[in-house]
Amino acid sequence: MTELLTLADLAATLHCSVKTARRRLDDAMAADPGLHVVKTGRTLLLTPEQHHRIIQALQWRSTCANAARHGTRAAPSASGDRKST
């Protein structure tokens, strides 16, 4: 049987807190729809293969800052409807 890793192990690999590792795990699962982890109670368990897939999914993110903002718009300001005199 393979040794299972926890979210704390993922956090140690990513050099971040467990809370941030959970967010990164959610990002990786959104990027890789076939990625699923085992949850026993409140503990998340990862196989070494899943751990590797999470790291890969996080590395595949876009490096372009504008790519994340593409297609989004800021909310219109309240003064935008006023006519200038």
Please state the separation of Cα 40 from the chain's center in Å. Answer: 21
Weakly modelled stretches of the chain, pLDDT under 70: 1, 60-85
- The reported pLDDT for the residue numbered 1 is 65
- The reported pLDDT for the residue numbered 2 is 75
Residue 80 tokens read as 């935008």
- The reported pLDDT for the residue numbered 62 is 57
pTM of the model: 0.65
Q: Do 10 and 21 form a contact (C-beta atoms < 8 A)?
A: yes
* Other beta carbons within 10 Å of 77: 8
- The reported pLDDT for the residue numbered 72 is 55
